[in-house]
Structure 1
Amino acid sequence: MKTSVRAQLAQGVNLTPQLLQSIRLLQLTAPQLELELRQALDRNPMLETEDDDEVGETDAVDGTAEAELEAAAWDELPDPAYLSGGGVMGADDDACARIAAGESSDWRVRLLQELAYDWTADALRIAQWWLDRCDELGMLEGEPVALAREGAAALGSTAEALEAVRQRLLQGTWAGVAAASAAECLLAQLAAHPASPERALAERMVAEQIHALAAHDTATLARVLQADVDAVAAATALVLSLRPSAVEPPAAEHEGHVIPDVTVRFLGGQWRVALNGRATPRIRIAAHCEQALAHAPGDQSVLRGLLDEARWLVRGVAMRNDTLLRTVQVLVERQRGFLERGEEAIAPLTLREVADAIGMHESTVSRITSGKYIQTPRGTFELKRLFAVRLEGAEVSGAAVRAMVKRLIDAEPPHAPLADDVIAGLLARRGVRIARRTVAKYRDQLSIPSARQRCKPALAA
């Protein structure tokens, strides 16, 4: 065996404690950041609060100027291709994405974090593509065959490879994710149960008689499936034990109140974005401590270490605030129609589009928007709500179409409710072409019964 030594030049970046701290600050919500800063003020005498100015909202202009003066800009970090450090991940991957991002409120982020332990980078990339085309319940916003063809063209893969990854998602730890229908979601969950006569009958009920199952028509199920009534009842109980949605809830429940991280108001003919300065204290380096340390005799290594720690914290907070403001500014500009006209005007928008607009990686946008809330004239809600999946074959989002369906049903005559196919026809006249089953899916998501169940007899004259 012949041994040899070969020199290889590679470009990378070390994830220093300071960089790790900056990344962690990105994902902190307003209450978490306030707790972090309060603890830092207690343990580090080099920090002090800014009591000179009245604490309030911080405009995007002021926040950006302060970040440029006090911090190294986030964009000065190497490109994502260099962050991979020459590993097996692709050029579009970010090594920062491999750092634990905590418990995100976005179910897609939580699922991808679980899959990252044993899935390859290519499989994760395809899985993320599928998840971006699911609604909040984990159901696909389109036909699997058409979506697989679209994904194959977008990712440079094959439709068969995309469908194979979708099947892995369906049968994975979150059984039923990326299902094309409620029946497929339930069947995937049933497949995870041990084989038994109850499971076999439940699978037949879901696959062949889901409407009778939804109506709890035990007699019809027993007659059509030629099964005993008691067996049908046991299989029905098994189906009812399944989750109505494949999406796993977060481990920690949110508190009853929400503190917005940013606010947006319509002033002077334009939408203005500002940080909620009342949510977190504003910190700075104590000038007298820094001056005294510069002229202090003897070994001051401990105090200089505290000063460096304080500087990195101030810079990290400035970077976090600047990134948050720039991200929200893009979200507000792209979703101006939603802010002005409501849910029906929400535009399709993805993490990649926002990341490209601010010149950052998708993982950074995901961190800075997860768990963050925005206060608007239309209410206070999570930033993730401003992202929406484009409906296949249309220039509108699935969320906008769902709002259209709700408005049509709210305006229907009580004695003559609109059937699903009629709603699909009305939407087609407006240029939104969706199938009847898609209307039924949106109606189920809105907890709206069928037209027959909504029908109320007209009052006699």
Structure 2
Amino acid sequence: MKPKLTQEQKLTWKLTQQLGQAIELLQYNGFQLQQFLEKQMKENPLIEVETERTVPDYTPAKRGMGFDESFWIDDSQDLAGYVKEQLLDKKLSPTFKQIVEYGIDSLDENGYLTIALTDWQFAFQTDEETIGEALELIQSLDPAGIGARNLQECLALQLFRSSAPSRLAINIVTNHLDWIADDRVEDLMMEYGVSEAAIEEAIQDIQSLHPKPGILVAGNTSSPIIPDGEVFQSNGVWKVALTGWNSPTITIVDYSIDHSRLSPEERDFFQKYTQEGKWLQKALSQRLDSLDRVFKSIVRRQIAFFDYGPEHLKPLVLREIAEETGLHVSTVSRAVKEKYLQTPHGMFPVKFFFQPGLQGGTGDVSAYAIKHLIKEMISHEDKQKPLSDQKLSEMLKNEFQIEVSRRTVAKYRLALKLPSSSKRKRRRNK
């Protein structure tokens, strides 16, 4: 079938769709952005994209000068974590948020809801309407199709979220999905009173959907690791510059056509793709501004790290960067997702710079720095008299004015994959 223009989309839907795409753009790292823009050029004949693709010849970042992998925050996410992150920009009451998160935790790896609504309702002693609102919220989040209770609902949710929902496809999915499997095209034509071409188009729409949307999240971190920014020192001041991959130029092609001589369909064509090109320019500009503000704020707050190395990393939370930049916490979260910074100490995921901390005698100390100290003390201990977790706790307090309980020391030691003192003990050679 030939592509056809439609005026069925409402302005509110277009705004919602564009907002969703803008959020998606912010989450992309440089490599993912290039893939997205290549797709946009294929879909929009009026735009041209120019990007500085040359990536500096960085020394492969031994993940921060060869520090142990156990120091690192895992940059991947499970489905529940990915979905819950989207609640950051939702204004939910604490009770309702608990109800929603309970539902998210009840999703299986494919994204389907595994708990009955009555059981969900009973767990919180609430009413049916509240549970319905919680389910509706979950089903509005990404990836499209999550929160469904069966295959029909999963596919229908994805169709409703498409740019131009097909009522025919939705009806077929809801009522006659098995007819597609049996190739009963003629029966579908008779049932809905439409042409074979219309049925074939609806079937193609349905076959393009994903029956297990949850597993899409698992493959979300598979792109090559290329730095999104470089931190360097200039005249004694630490600065950060975004790599060329994050600064594409979008040009809207001007064919110098006399639009007054075009047909209404042709004018609609040019107007549609010109508007989409202008929106893309604006969205990319906003993305660049957000990344620039967030990266610079992180560098300002982690000066000690850049001056002296990773063991001097300070505690930092998303909200501190949000307050300094004037951005929402959810925006900061998306800006750092899957992004990497090249530094003089190696290449680090931006999330690495957000660390929990404890209060020390000289100020807050990051968990990373404490782990580093524990590892250093163990590496220099007397192997015939290895340091117990209690002794390590006392040394941190006495030598570094850092109060850490024995239980916390044990937790960090296990995270470093270091055995207990009894298993580290070596007997003297006779």
Q: Do the two structures share a fold, i.e. TM-score over 0.5?
A: yes
Work out whether residues 49 and 281 of structure 1, in 8 Å CA contact, stay in contact via their aligned partners in 2.
no
Q: What's the CA shift string for 1:95-152, capped at 9, x where partnerless? A: xxxxxxxxx8356843625999xx9631477899xxxxxxxxxxxxxxxxxxxxxxxx
Alignment of 1:236-385 (within 5 A): 251-252=218-219, 254-255=221-222, 257-277=224-244, 279=245, 282-286=248-252, 288-289=254-255, 292-293=256-257, 297-299=261-263, 300-385=267-352
CA positional deviation for 1:399: 2.1
Change (3 A) 1:415 1:353: same
User: TM-score normalised to the size of structure 1?
Assistant: 0.53
Q: What residue identity is the alignment partner of 2:34?
A: E
Work out whether residues 22 and 283 of structure 2, in 8 Å CA contact, stay in contact via their aligned partners in 1.
yes
Alignment of 1:38-437 (within 5 A): 38-50=38-50, 105-106=76-77, 109-110=81-82, 112-113=84-85, 121-123=93-95, 251-252=218-219, 254-255=221-222, 257-277=224-244, 279=245, 282-286=248-252, 288-289=254-255, 292-293=256-257, 297-299=261-263, 300-391=267-358, 395-429=364-398, 430-437=400-407
Match of 1:446 among 386, 393, 416: 416
Counterparts of 1:379 and 1:420, CA distance in 2: 31
Bigger shift: residues 392-401 or 104-113 = 104-113
Counterparts of 1:273 and 1:428, CA distance in 2: 35
Work out whether residues 297 and 321 of structure 2, in 8 Å CA contact, stay in contact via their aligned partners in 1.
yes
CA positional deviation for 1:405: 0.9
Aligned to 1:32: 32
Counterparts of 1:367 and 1:37, CA distance in 2: 19
Counterparts of 1:406 and 1:427, CA distance in 2: 12
Q: What's the CA shift string for 1:368-417, capped at 9, x where partnerless? A: 11111222222222211110113267621222212211111122233332
CA positional deviation for 1:48: 1.7
Aligned to 1:198: none
Q: What residue identity is the alignment partner of 2:248?
A: R
Q: What's the CA shift string for 1:194-215, capped at 9, x where partnerless? A: xxxxxxxxxxxxxxxxxxxxxx
Counterparts of 1:402 and 1:125, CA distance in 2: 33
Change (3 A) 1:56 1:31: closer
Change (3 A) 1:273 1:375: same
Work out whether residues 57 and 274 of structure 1, in 8 Å CA contact, stay in contact via their aligned partners in 2.
no
CA positional deviation for 1:359: 0.2
Cα RMSD (Å) of the superposition?
3.5
Counterparts of 2:222 and 2:19, CA distance in 1: 30
Q: What residue identity is the alignment partner of 1:112?
A: K
Counterparts of 2:49 and 2:13, CA distance in 1: 33
Counterparts of 1:456 and 1:308, CA distance in 2: 72
Change (3 A) 1:256 1:413: farther
User: TM-score normalised to the size of structure 2?
Assistant: 0.57
Q: What percentage of residue pairs aligned between the two structures are identical?
A: 33
CA positional deviation for 1:295: 6.1
Change (3 A) 1:294 1:321: farther
Change (3 A) 1:257 1:307: closer
Change (3 A) 1:301 1:355: same
Q: What's the CA shift string for 1:236-264, capped at 9, x where partnerless? A: xxxxxxxxxxxxxx623744841222221
Q: What's the CA shift string for 1:136-190, capped at 9, x where partnerless? A: xxxxxxxxxxxxxxxxxxxxxxxxxxxxxxxxxxxxxxxxxxxxxxxxxxxxxxx
CA positional deviation for 1:433: 0.8
Q: What residue identity is the alignment partner of 2:262?
A: G
Change (3 A) 1:406 1:372: same
CA positional deviation for 1:297: 3.2
Counterparts of 2:303 and 2:378, CA distance in 1: 26
Counterparts of 1:392 and 1:127, CA distance in 2: 34
Counterparts of 2:46 and 2:421, CA distance in 1: 67
Change (3 A) 1:114 1:27: closer
Work out whether residues 85 and 330 of structure 2, in 8 Å CA contact, stay in contact via their aligned partners in 1.
no
SS in 2 for 1:396: strand
Counterparts of 1:115 and 1:314, CA distance in 2: 27
Counterparts of 1:263 and 1:338, CA distance in 2: 15
Work out whether residues 46 and 274 of structure 2, in 8 Å CA contact, stay in contact via their aligned partners in 1.
yes
Give the aligned length. 278
Counterparts of 2:373 and 2:275, CA distance in 1: 55
Aligned to 2:109: none
Q: Runs of 5+ in structure 1 lacking a partner?
A: 1-11, 59-103, 129-249
Work out whether residues 37 and 281 of structure 1, in 8 Å CA contact, stay in contact via their aligned partners in 2.
no
Counterparts of 1:356 and 1:114, CA distance in 2: 19
Change (3 A) 1:330 1:120: closer
Counterparts of 1:383 and 1:363, CA distance in 2: 15
